[in-house]
Structure 1
């Protein structure tokens, strides 16, 4: 549904933007100017489970959902954004892909990383899937987030990236991201998301070592 704010922003955008392929200016995930430009989403089945043979924790989730509209903001006001299925395929195919799994987009709170072989990113028809198969439960940040994922207090993810190609709809109310670059961006566990379709959670096999549950105390920093 087109709201008055969406229509007013689109009218200004149509008068200012020279080409429909131009990227959003001052793109952000909320109205206030200091908001980050990350895409976030919830309820995509993110889980953490204990590996019975190693005592480590496995994290699986979805950092973005494709072909699902969510609200974003630019210098003119609100608009709808959609990530096209397969938009990250070129970036994910890089041999030197460097992406960490972090808490709240904080680059110093890293849980896993593609360059160390501890994080794997793949695309499905539904979105950007995340798997970290061997998180160390003794790591402070891992211990901080696991109980919150298990209890459902935290169940969303987000990803930070750079838009490489996209296009505005003819009425300038919607922007579609056709190609993005996630190299040196991140995938993050967050408190709330702009895209209401991603998610995060924790699961644990019955044979998990008794001490690993006690050590798994982990909490998420809220996305800025």
Structure 2
């Protein structure tokens, strides 16, 4: 669970009708670059959650904490991807004591932003940019949440992945350099063998000349 990161800040739509308290909105948006504390920038690629939807048991909670008010496994939380991003929708039970305790805050706007908890399964880093750009290509989902103050928790996790990417890139550069040096050494050896062979052939020819 130490790999979990949180992102958010998109307004949620909240309305009440005879069916219950409906909450919907985008927990994540594709293609928009977000500054993560000035340490790096981040963008989520379209399709990042395709595998997670229908596979991961995702819960809907308040401020990423507490008992679930809805969840995908029970069918009370619905997640989908479209061209814009990761969309969520749920209808909360107005008789649920936990819902009753927050519905007023939601209607007033005290709880009005979407957030989500995820783990980056496949990511790419562009370290040539300043600050570096992280692209989330595939992610697992843990929860979607309505929050008071959106946070970008998990900066240290992102930075660790950046350092890991840098280390892998350095290993690749060192391996490429070693290969280049080995190739040059091999070419030199071949050239030396050819030169030696040619010298021997010339010597044999000279000895054979009357």
Tell me which interval the TM-score lies in, with the shorter structure as reference length. 0.5 to 0.7
Separation of aligned partners in 1, 2:33 and 2:149: 16
Candidates 3, 26, 49, aligned match of 1:62: 26
Which residue number in structure 2 is paired with residue 218 of structure 1? none
Partner SS state of residue 68, structure 1:
coil
User: Is 1:130 the counterpart of 2:94 in the alignment?
Assistant: no
Which residue number in structure 2 is paired with residue 181 of structure 1? 140
State the shift of 1:37 in Å: 2.4
State the shift of 1:194 in Å: 4.3
The runs of 5 or more residues in structure 1 that have no matched partner are: 1-25, 28-35, 196-224
Which residue number in structure 1 is paired with residue 57 of structure 2? 98
Whether the 8 Å CA contact 1:41–1:65 is kept in 2: the answer is: no
Higher relative contact order (CA closer than 8 Å, sequence separation 6+): 1
State the shift of 1:148 in Å: 2.3
Which residue number in structure 2 is paired with residue 17 of structure 1? none
Aligned-residue Cα RMSD (Å) equals 2.2
Which residue number in structure 2 is paired with residue 20 of structure 1? none
Whether the 8 Å CA contact 2:30–2:44 is kept in 1: the answer is: yes
Partner SS state of residue 136, structure 2:
strand
Which residue number in structure 2 is paired with residue 51 of structure 1? 17
Separation of aligned partners in 1, 2:82 and 2:106: 23
User: Is 1:81 the counterpart of 2:39 in the alignment?
Assistant: no
Candidates 66, 71, 79, aligned match of 1:121: 79
Q: Which runs of 4+ in 1 moved over 3 A?
A: none
* Alignment map for 1:11-22 (pairs within 5 Å): none
State the shift of 1:147 in Å: 2.1
Which residue number in structure 2 is paired with residue 110 of structure 1? 68
Which residue number in structure 2 is paired with residue 165 of structure 1? 122
Q: Deviations over 1:125-162 (max 9, x none)?
A: 111111113x1112232123222222223321111111
Separation of aligned partners in 2, 1:157 and 1:98: 18
Partner SS state of residue 91, structure 1:
coil
Separation of aligned partners in 2, 1:93 and 1:136: 23
The runs of 5 or more residues in structure 2 that have no matched partner are: 153-210
Whether the 8 Å CA contact 1:101–1:188 is kept in 2: the answer is: yes
Q: Which has the larger radius of gyration?
A: 2
State the shift of 1:42 in Å: 2.2
